[in-house]
Amino acid sequence: MEIKNICCIGGGYVGGPTMSVIADKCPEIQIDVVDISAERIRDWNNEDLSKLPIYEPGLAEIVKKCRGKNLHFSVEIEKKISTADMIFISVNTPTKKRGLGAGQAIDLRWVEASARQIAKYAKGETIVVEKSTLPVKTAETIKDILLKSTKKDDQQYEEKTFTVLSNPEFLAEGTAINDLNSPDRVLIGGEDDASINALKNIYLRWVEEKKILTTNLWSAELSKLTANAFLAQRISSINSISILCEKTGADIKDVSLAIGKDKRIGKHFLNSGPGFGGSCFKKDILNLVYICDYYSLNEISEYWQNIIKINDWQQKRICNLIIKNLFNTISDKTITILGFAFKANTNDTRESPAINICKNLLEEGAKLNIYDPKVKKSQIEKDLNLKELGSNNNNQGSWEFFNSPKSALINADAAVILTEWEEFKSIDFNHLSKSMRSPCWLFDTRSITNCDLKNSENINVWKIGDGQN
């Protein structure tokens, strides 16, 4: 089966970059990214490439090359579904906020809406690809919707056929284009060989065959949740050791290096920090926990829940140590927050540790000067939601947005590095601390600043996992 037209439902952090790379690698395939958010689509079509809705290194160049040729962004969902041979579902799958399974289960309403739209508007033979991260057995739900909604009163039922594949995405934000160009593996789960091969043939344009794994649907869905759970587990593990380093005089960087040399452990994902953020780790582990509970696997559920517990604990302990070092009160003290994104090289703030840490500092009455090279002020406003925070607190602090670290540091009592942006590594704190209020502090939760600061008379330094602080 030759694929000529692809439609991707959802133009977010996954849909946008993934379709851009497929468009780049397969110029003969027409690709339409559709989204219910007219604002997002407008931004994808912005002539000024710095205004694309997401910041991702290397993305703007590909959009520039392919947009208007074989890569299109629109809100014409029905029309684009109707002309597609293959449809990717790449919509958001957050944790349910209310109702059955609230706080753990995935809210499938956007996936279901997409499946219903496909059932209604698709024509002929259509391959539906789950790109979103989904609970195990969701493909069954999608198949059900596709079959049952077409059977009922649709005169053209005979002309429509659907197959469902699971093709989870493993890209990480900040390195998405590189991850898509050179994936460690591509995973395709499904039952129909012709559909699997149609998708495989697309990836074969640039991915070695041995890296393309095919499995059944359920293994593909569960592998994605498991991969994220394992990655998050490594971060909680190394973060749990960071405090031991601080207590014992060891250095977490040395420990990471030493253990990472063991090939069985490996060197990646061993950086201690303020806890993992991002839209997926927490929600995917919670989903795993929900599935375990569903099957009454209580010990397994508890095991994975602890990964999240350690993550919350790490964020909390950072707040506490800031307060403790600033003489146990931060009311009316100015604290400079360097970095608000959940990691470097992205403008995404979903589940960023900065949100909880800033909220806690505001609760204690601090004045925050916030700087991030890519996150907009309006996004921080949404994330901190001061109105909600301040309802019962007379001592609530305030925050201001700054355009440079230098201006954000003036008169500050402390600076807190929360995101490992490259530009923070070269800040001369020794020099800039002269504009801060003495005695001032640097809390480096990513351990990225220059070690010479240790002997600085101008500034006290705390670095995560550094027992020589």
Return d(Cα 448, Cα 455) in angstroms, integer.
16
Count of residues touching ligand NAD (by CB under 6 A): 27
Q: 343 contacts which partner out of ligand UGA, ligand NAD, none, CB within 5 to 8 A by kind?
A: ligand UGA
Q: Identify whether the C-beta of residue 23 lies closer than 8 Å to the C-beta of residue 71.
A: yes
Q: How far is CA 204 from CA 165, 183, 197, 201, 212, in A?
A: 17, 12, 10, 5, 8
Return d(Cα 300, Cα 288) in angstroms, integer.
9
Q: 190 contacts which partner out of ligand NAD, ligand UGA, none, CB within 5 to 8 A by kind?
A: none
Catalytic residue check, 280: yes
- Does 91 sit near ligand NAD (CB under 6 A)? yes
Return d(Cα 339, Cα 406) in angstroms, integer.
13
CB of 172 to ligand NAD, least distance (A): 6
Q: 34 contacts which partner out of ligand NAD, ligand UGA, none, CB within 5 to 8 A by kind?
A: ligand NAD
Contacts of 403 (CB under 8 A, 6+ apart): 371
- Does 132 sit near ligand NAD (CB under 6 A)? yes
Q: Identify whether the C-beta of residue 347 lies closer than 8 Å to the C-beta of residue 54.
A: yes
Rule CB under 6 A: choose which of 7, 118, 164, 171 binds ligand NAD.
Answer: 171
Q: 212 contacts which partner out of ligand UGA, ligand NAD, none, CB within 5 to 8 A by kind?
A: none
Annotated catalytic residue, options 8, 66, 245, 280: 280
- Does 12 sit near ligand NAD (CB under 6 A)? yes
Classify residue 109 as left (phi > 0), alpha (psi -120 to 50) or beta.
alpha
- Does 82 sit near ligand NAD (CB under 6 A)? no
Kindly provide the b/e burial profile for residues 82-107, where b requires at least 16 CB atoms within 10 angstroms of the residue's own CB. bbbbbbbbbbbbebbeeeebeebbbb
Residue indicated by tokens 């807190």: 416
Q: 44 contacts which partner out of ligand NAD, ligand UGA, none, CB within 5 to 8 A by kind?
A: none
| Residues found near ligand UGA in the complex (CB under 6 A) | 133, 169-173, 228, 231, 235, 269-271, 273, 276-278, 280-281, 342-343
- Does 174 sit near ligand NAD (CB under 6 A)? no
Where in the sequence numbering do the catalytic residues fall? 280
Which positions touch ligand NAD (CB under 6 A)? 9-15, 34-37, 40, 77, 90-93, 110, 113-114, 132-133, 169, 171, 173, 279-280
